Chains A and B, each alone.
Chain A
């Protein structure tokens, strides 16, 4: 077995049994990155020396009997997390060669538990996108390909496209990601891996480059549901440096993966049955529900009547917050600076931001500025907040009747790099099943459940109550067991 084929859990066991060292495991991944990253472009920064140093230190800790829960496990870090001493770009030119003098809480938690960081993973610029084509460092390629058209380069989804592609292609055992409207779940589904966006407040946002503060939430992607559970446990926890962080105990999520489905009530929202949705997705959804029934769960049709407003609501709230969050990139203190003409401060701002931001980021800054403007605020931002409250209420009412909700993760399988990119609204539709969980602050897990006719992975989504990730993991693991998803991407290490 090639060392990059381990699951996170499997690698942890191999390390603890002494079957492999952290250095060997790390080196195998670095070799895989060297071989495949030129094609996939999943990593924007490979920290080979640092990773090997960390791996050596990890082996020494293990030898001293001080192994942490993630001791010696090589991970990739989405380049939205500030990593001390390691360049952090947010996929944008505007941060230039910004090297944070501080570590994000989530990545610090992983380091505390013994993880090894292989490098920083590509993403849509400032996490804005669903295809990982808006990165200033070039697009990421999905390691999967269509059976009939193997040469069509497919997107990995976004914004955490680098994270999902790297994990699917075995360039990391797992990775951090963030999810503002679906940025963990959609790329996980496109790349045939698992990924969870936990409850808002579960992971600290401290040190994560902000996109939309009320929606952003960090989470892991990995090749199994249990691996996600292991990573999330380390990433989570109350952080006094984030005022929106939740002071909640962090349960043993992995233990919940084995829970029985008996007696669980699974909600099936009728509003998620979209017109024009591919038959394969509908069929997979029904198959997933059947698996859960076979495992002892009961499925219940529910209604989330404000679902149709979720996407427009999201595309008001997220750009509004982004337009303000991104104001700090002005060329004055750090990052890119394009010198002004005639000593004009405004000119410095305009040139720096015109050159530093890509088209999608500019589009969202403009939308956000517009919806917050005097005279438009009530009609857009305030109304969106009210609709958001109604969407939340829909879920509250549904969770009075059911324990979890199961939906498709995405309305399609991965698409070609040039297939949806000219119309932003078509692109925004990718998030139709996922944005609701962000608007309501709820945990959502994507789990690979099948293949379409082209041999591309399709995922299901499990949404749970706030801070009830355990049930979400339990349902996700049950789907994973039943689906027995063993298909592999065509581009992968050790293949």
Chain B
């Protein structure tokens, strides 16, 4: 039966849509070469581009584009071969450029769909409205000083995918299942680590309520909810708040709210009237992003097996129950581990061992299969093929010995995930890559010691300009060991994907043609030079409110 909340006036349905911000797994930021690793010292992964220095320009990181396309493919979504970056203008101390580069009118990924499974065994399809690429802002730290705030720009410029769902969910459980499934797909794809604790996945939850048979009533958006459990709680709390307002004869006003996890209630952040006018317009520093259909097909062909397919295969090939298959594919690492164990053996026995003995042992020792040292998600290693060999051998000897089987993998893993020493810089076409100095803000107070900032920025290591800075050998080693063997974001792994602008862009979005220079090789074979200016887009569509949750 469909989920409702019983009010004084009868049952109320919930309508829920999610906007998920997922941090792209990439070595470098979306428009600069600064590194993206979690947990580095404040302002140690900041290029002059990220810090908004005069004359600095964004250059797109092709690997981030590939990750967005992979994600779109994984969400069964339409890939837009022509997309564009816009500027979202607003002032804040942790937004160095005074604007965020985003995709407002023309996202890289259009509509898609994912299937969710519910506790009663039923399943449901949830529509995806769009996925777009955008930059993250920096981080303000308000609790470090009694009167000032501190600012960490490490996150400034990191690539995010904003994944917007249709308002297709009808219960907290569905919202939770959607988020769980989305996270699972992203992790299978290797496009986002899904670690909500570290903020690499955050959800804005749109909620409204209605009586059966009604259209949509006014929605409210609960911002920045950072766990699946909190999303489910926030949905319910916000729905109950709205029901109370309606039942008391009041009216729900569209606004942005925050979820107070301690008290389990939402509170107002800003009303619609206070909403910013972001003055979106096409970023004149960036030509439109044009993808080659053949390149998209290459990415499609190289996609890993996704959870639904894998679950179906376990049932079909291994004869597992639907439930066992579901449990084994929840985490990519578990599935890989299971397959290694099951190879050449009775798959049902292997499933029983993994789900029984191994899970129990991991529970006992508070480890998980991929990350027994308890380190961050970037250090997560697909434990299966390697770590699985050990218990497999033991299984061959007739003894499945609990947690001991996991130990060698764990040891290797601890070694591999040692935090890198000091400052890290991937490749930076934007200039140097160190911190923008000490910055603090508290209750609106900002304090930056400029001299220090400049001294810091003039460190010799900042001499490395675009594409010349090489990750140190030690870092490379670390990356390899940590299992992040992603092709070097900008230099190598771009298979000449993007193609000429004229071929694919919508006719009404076309810049005047034929006045650009020949396209450059590689992914930026978008018209450089004057060719792509100006590009009036789809009539007035450019300034339509963003197609977020469409209700």
Q: Are A385 and B429 in contact (CB under 8 A)?
A: no
Does any Cβ of B come within 8 Å of A358's Cβ?
no
Which of chain A's residues have a CB closer than 8 A to the CB of B534? 214, 317, 384-386, 388-389, 392
Q: Are A334 and B518 in contact (CB under 8 A)?
A: no
CB within 8 Å of B: which A218-273 residues = 238, 240-248
Q: Are A213 and B91 in contact (CB under 8 A)?
A: no
Chain B interface mostly = loop
B-contact bits for A201-215, CB 8 A (1 contact / 0 none): 110011111101110
B-contact bits for A64-93, CB 8 A (1 contact / 0 none): 000000000000000001100000101000
Q: Are B55 and A377 in contact (CB under 8 A)?
A: no
CB within 8 Å of B: which A349-394 residues = 349, 369, 372-374, 377-378, 381-382, 384-386, 388-389, 392-393
CB within 8 Å of A: which B418-435 residues = 429-432
Stretch of B94-102, B203-211, B392-400 with 4 or more beta carbons under 8 angstroms from chain A? B94-102
Known contacts A327-B89, A340-B445, A389-B512; is-contact A243 B53 (Cβ 8 Å): no
Q: Are A372 and B54 in contact (CB under 8 A)?
A: no
Q: Are B530 and A334 in contact (CB under 8 A)?
A: no
Does any Cβ of B come within 8 Å of A442's Cβ?
yes
Q: Are B89 and A372 in contact (CB under 8 A)?
A: yes
Does any Cβ of B come within 8 Å of A101's Cβ?
yes
Does any Cβ of A come within 8 Å of B299's Cβ?
no
Q: Are A200 and B439 in contact (CB under 8 A)?
A: no
Pick the contact of B441 from A88, A317, A345, A382 — CB < 8 Å?
Answer: A345
Known contacts A101-B462, A102-B432, A240-B59; is-contact A382 B542 (Cβ 8 Å): yes
Q: Are B453 and A333 in contact (CB under 8 A)?
A: yes
Does any Cβ of B come within 8 Å of A419's Cβ?
no
Which of chain A's residues have a CB closer than 8 A to the CB of B92? 345
State how many angstroms separate the Cβ of B211 from the closest Cβ of chain A.
33
Does any Cβ of B come within 8 Å of A100's Cβ?
yes
Q: Are B533 and A200 in contact (CB under 8 A)?
A: yes
Q: Are A82 and B55 in contact (CB under 8 A)?
A: yes
Q: How many residues of B contact A (CB 8 A)?
A: 75
Chain A residue with Cβ nearest B520: A247
Q: Are A343 and B59 in contact (CB under 8 A)?
A: no
Known contacts A330-B91, A349-B91, A441-B530; is-contact A466 B54 (Cβ 8 Å): no
Pick the contact of A333 from B277, B432, B436, B442 — CB < 8 Å?
Answer: B436
CA distance A288 to B531 in the complex (A): 31
CA distance A379 to B138 in the complex (A): 34
Q: Are A101 and B54 in contact (CB under 8 A)?
A: no
Q: Are B98 and A205 in contact (CB under 8 A)?
A: no
CA distance A447 to B259 in the complex (A): 66
B-contact bits for A430-441, CB 8 A (1 contact / 0 none): 000000000011
Pick the contact of B448 from A337, A377, A441 — CB < 8 Å?
Answer: A337
CA distance A259 to B445 in the complex (A): 63
Known contacts A200-B533, A241-B59; is-contact A98 B54 (Cβ 8 Å): yes
State how many angstroms separate the Cβ of B492 from the closest Cβ of chain A.
15
Which of chain B's residues have a CB closer than 8 A to the CB of A98? 54
Does any Cβ of B come within 8 Å of A297's Cβ?
no
Q: Are B98 and A324 in contact (CB under 8 A)?
A: yes
Known contacts A101-B432, A240-B429, A466-B517; is-contact A328 B529 (Cβ 8 Å): no
CA distance A369 to B279 in the complex (A): 8
State how many angstroms separate the Cβ of B57 from the closest Cβ of chain A.
5
Does any Cβ of B come within 8 Å of A104's Cβ?
yes
A-contact bits for B492-528, CB 8 A (1 contact / 0 none): 0000000000000000000110111110110010001
Q: Are B529 and A467 in contact (CB under 8 A)?
A: yes
A-contact bits for B529-551, CB 8 A (1 contact / 0 none): 11101111100101100000000
Which of chain B's residues have a CB closer than 8 A to the CB of A241? 57, 59, 429-430, 465-466
Q: Are B529 and A201 in contact (CB under 8 A)?
A: yes
State how many angstroms separate the Cβ of B430 from the closest Cβ of chain A.
7
Known contacts A101-B454, A324-B281, A372-B281; is-contact A332 B96 (Cβ 8 Å): yes
Does any Cβ of A come within 8 Å of B344's Cβ?
no
Does any Cβ of A come within 8 Å of B446's Cβ?
yes
Does any Cβ of B come within 8 Å of A396's Cβ?
yes
Which of chain B's residues have a CB closer than 8 A to the CB of A210? 54-55, 285
B-contact bits for A182-199, CB 8 A (1 contact / 0 none): 000000000000000001
Does any Cβ of B come within 8 Å of A12's Cβ?
no
Pick the contact of B281 from A100, A104, A320 — CB < 8 Å?
Answer: A320
Does any Cβ of B come within 8 Å of A348's Cβ?
yes
Which of chain A's residues have a CB closer than 8 A to the CB of B429? 240-241
CA distance A388 to B533 in the complex (A): 8
Does any Cβ of B come within 8 Å of A491's Cβ?
no
Q: Are B512 and A392 in contact (CB under 8 A)?
A: yes
Known contacts A328-B54, A385-B536; is-contact A343 B442 (Cβ 8 Å): yes
Which of chain A's residues have a CB closer than 8 A to the CB of B51? 333
Known contacts A388-B534, A393-B512; is-contact A467 B58 (Cβ 8 Å): no
Does any Cβ of B come within 8 Å of A17's Cβ?
no
State how many angstroms separate the Cβ of A318 from the closest Cβ of chain B.
10
Q: Are B439 and A332 in contact (CB under 8 A)?
A: yes
Does any Cβ of A come within 8 Å of B374's Cβ?
no
Q: Are A199 and B530 in contact (CB under 8 A)?
A: yes
Known contacts A324-B281, A333-B448; is-contact A466 B98 (Cβ 8 Å): no
CA distance A104 to B99 in the complex (A): 22
Pick the contact of B529 from A200, A317, A323, A372 — CB < 8 Å?
Answer: A200
Chain B residue with Cβ nearest A99: B454
Which of chain A's residues have a CB closer than 8 A to the CB of B56? 206-207
Which of chain B's residues have a CB closer than 8 A to the CB of A246? 516-517, 528-529
Does any Cβ of B come within 8 Å of A169's Cβ?
no
CA distance A96 to B437 in the complex (A): 17
Does any Cβ of B come within 8 Å of A344's Cβ?
yes
Does any Cβ of A come within 8 Å of B60's Cβ?
yes
Which of chain A's residues have a CB closer than 8 A to the CB of B270? none
Q: Are B96 and A333 in contact (CB under 8 A)?
A: yes
Known contacts A90-B54, A248-B529; is-contact A343 B277 (Cβ 8 Å): no
Q: Are A328 and B97 in contact (CB under 8 A)?
A: yes
Which of chain B's residues have a CB closer than 8 A to the CB of A208? 55
Does any Cβ of A come within 8 Å of B458's Cβ?
yes
Q: Are A327 and B97 in contact (CB under 8 A)?
A: yes
Extra contacts besides A200-B533, A213-B284 (19): CB < 8 Å: A201-B528, A208-B55, A209-B55, A214-B533, A241-B57, A243-B524, A320-B281, A323-B89, A327-B99, A328-B96, A333-B436, A343-B445, A345-B93, A348-B444, A348-B446, A374-B277, A393-B512, A396-B514, A466-B515
Q: Which residues of A contact B (CB under 8 A)?
A: 81-82, 88, 90, 95, 98-102, 104, 199-202, 205-210, 212-214, 238, 240-248, 317, 320-321, 323-324, 326-328, 330-334, 337, 340, 342-349, 369, 372-374, 377-378, 381-382, 384-386, 388-389, 392-393, 396, 440-442, 466-467
9 nearest A-B residue pairs (beta carbon) = A441-B530, A327-B98, A201-B529, A246-B529, A213-B284, A247-B520, A200-B530, A372-B279, A214-B284
Q: Which residues of B contact A (CB under 8 A)?
A: 48, 51-60, 87, 89, 91-93, 96-99, 147, 151, 277, 279-281, 284-287, 429-432, 436-437, 439, 441-446, 448, 450, 453-454, 457-458, 462, 465-467, 511-512, 514-518, 520-521, 524, 528-531, 533-537, 540, 542-543
What are 20 contact pairs spanning A and B, CB under 8 A?
A101-B48, A101-B454, A101-B458, A101-B462, A102-B432, A104-B55, A200-B529, A209-B55, A243-B286, A244-B528, A326-B98, A328-B53, A332-B96, A340-B444, A342-B444, A343-B443, A345-B441, A345-B446, A382-B537, A386-B534
